[in-house]
Amino acid sequence: MPPDGSRKRGRPSDSPVAASHVNVLRGVTQEFDRTLPFWRCFTDLKSTYGHPPIVQQRTTTIHFREACSSFKGVDVVWAITKVTVRVQTGIAKRQNMRIPEKGRAGVTWRGIPYKEVTWRIGTMHFVHQNMNGFSGEGYEKSFHIQSVVNYDCPAVLQCVAGTMVSFWLLLYSSVALLASDTRLSAKDAPRKDSDPDAAVSSTFVAREEGSSKDRKRIPLPAVGWLDHAAEEMALQCKTEDNRAYVRAARQLAPHSTSRILVLGMGGNSMAVALRLLLGPHAEIHVVEIDASVFRACKAADTLLESDTKQFVYVESAEKCLPRFVNNYFHFIFMDLFEPLDATMVMTSSLVGQCHAKLSFGGMLVVNDHPTPFAGDGHPVGGTVRRRKCFPREFEWLEGKCAGLHEGGRCQEGRQNAAVQPYLFRQDLLGRI
């Protein structure tokens, strides 16, 4: 599937000494070992059995490496790791016995129950070519995990992308449920002679004068919507936890014909998971500035030629967004990383452009480290000029926020009667 943009070959390094293959492999391995305890596959095993898994064997190979075409002096690396972990599944049996040499009774532990699980995981990294050993500025800005794909169950995202999707599912389903209750109890509840789709559609808030009436509404998830394709896809997951997550996510997900925009391709893990959760009819548009990242995803088999509903644009988000003339998206995910300075890209102008491309009731989900503020110091809520801004503070290292498009500008000090502003925190889920 060719991208809708130019495909430039990665140019060779301009630095006199590029990072060696051995150093790159060592750095990728260290980053894998450091971040593995925070991934979904690891934490699920730990929470299920109450014991932390122990790595028994790990084999890492560099599957793809190429110089970035947009960032001078930086390589994009895709690594594949096969890791086997062992986790204790029960309580060990205690057996009393006499120790002859000490002449007293002792205790031995035998028959410790455990299980072994093997994962095949792909990770994407940016590596500075001027990295000198394992210290200094070049090393500090290299090897950060950009994407994680569990090839055994790609529908279950492992790190930051999974946090964004889970937060989005929770927020969307909660707000949609409140809006549905409000709408059904209001005077504009669907009548028998209305559109048949009105019973499964939501405006989130009542329309006001001056709102954008030409923007499409977002349909609510149909009751009990779980088709055979989703069931078959869930059964492909190896563990029951993953199968349960897929089934639950499909129940919380929006309509299968949603239009989604993803800014920042990474390893294309988010687009793959959204495709598996939403089905084959959802339109997924992905914007990525670097063509080398696009080629890395093709080499890693996370970008399928058969997916005719996914569109890739190889250019910057600032240039690509204005080209979506009269095209609005139900949901926009913004996860932009700048490898030269190893920082997240988030400015008030870019947030404003994204918000302008949302349909009525659309949602913008942003990954920001560590607080939901734009890069130029403007709060996200002030940038989009809406009261519906939802910060996310679930994780110890990650900040997530979402803005809800209401179709009209809220006045200061005024709260909409249909959907109140909510604050999602670790110990308090607002009023939801």
pLDDT in tens, the chain (432 residues): 544 443 333 444 444 356 788 888 999 999 999 999 989 889 888 888 888 899 999 999 999 999 988 888 889 999 999 999 998 887 765 555 555 555 444 444 456 788 889 999 999 999 888 776 666 666 677 888 889 999 888 888 888 888 888 888 888 888 777 776 665 555 444 444 433 333 233 222 222 223 334 434 433 333 222 333 444 555 556 667 777 788 888 888 887 888 999 998 988 999 988 988 888 889 999 999 889 999 999 889 888 778 889 999 999 888 899 888 777 898 999 888 777 666 677 777 888 888 888 888 788 888 865 433 334 444 444 444 333 444 433 333 344 555 555 554 322 222 222 222 333 322 223 332
Question: Is 300 inside any structural domain?
Answer: no
Fill in the amino acid letter for 303.
Answer: L
Question: Is 420 inside any structural domain?
Answer: no
Question: Is 360 inside any structural domain?
Answer: no
- Is the Cβ–Cβ distance between 203 and 403 less than 8 Å? no
For the chain, how many structural domains are there in total?
1
Note the helical H segments in 357-408. 380-384
Length of the chain equals: 432
Give the pLDDT score at 48.
Answer: 86
- Is the Cβ–Cβ distance between 360 and 405 less than 8 Å? yes
Question: Is 45 inside any structural domain?
Answer: yes
Question: Is 137 inside any structural domain?
Answer: yes
Give the pLDDT score at 206.
Answer: 27
Backbone phi and psi for residue 401, each to the nearest 5 degrees, phi listed first: -145, 155
Give the pLDDT score at 390.
Answer: 42
Give the pLDDT score at 312.
Answer: 93
Strand 54-67 to 74-88 pairing: antiparallel
Q: How far apart are the first and last CA of the chain?
A: 42
Taking the C-alpha atoms of residue 222 and residue 211, their distance in angstroms, rounded to an integer, is 26
Give the pLDDT score at 6.
Answer: 39
Give the pLDDT score at 201.
Answer: 30
pLDDT in tens, 102-117: 544 444 445 678 888 9
CB-count burial class (<10 Å; 0-12, 13-18, 19+) for 304: middle
Question: Is 10 inside any structural domain?
Answer: no
Give the pLDDT score at 292.
Answer: 92
pLDDT in tens, 230-261: 445 555 566 677 777 888 888 888 878 889 99
Question: Is 332 inside any structural domain?
Answer: no
137 phi-psi bin (left φ>0, alpha ψ -120 to 50, beta other)? alpha
Give the pLDDT score at 164.
Answer: 86
- Is the Cβ–Cβ distance between 414 and 408 less than 8 Å? no
Question: Is 38 inside any structural domain?
Answer: yes
Q: Collapsing DSSP states into helix, strand and coil, what is residue 349?
A: helix
Taking the C-alpha atoms of residue 265 and residue 169, their distance in angstroms, rounded to an integer, is 20
| Full residue range of the structural domain in which residue 123 is found | 21-90+113-150
- Only one residue has tokens 């028994």, namely 56
Give the pLDDT score at 7.
Answer: 37
Backbone phi and psi for residue 416, each to the nearest 5 degrees, phi listed first: -75, 140
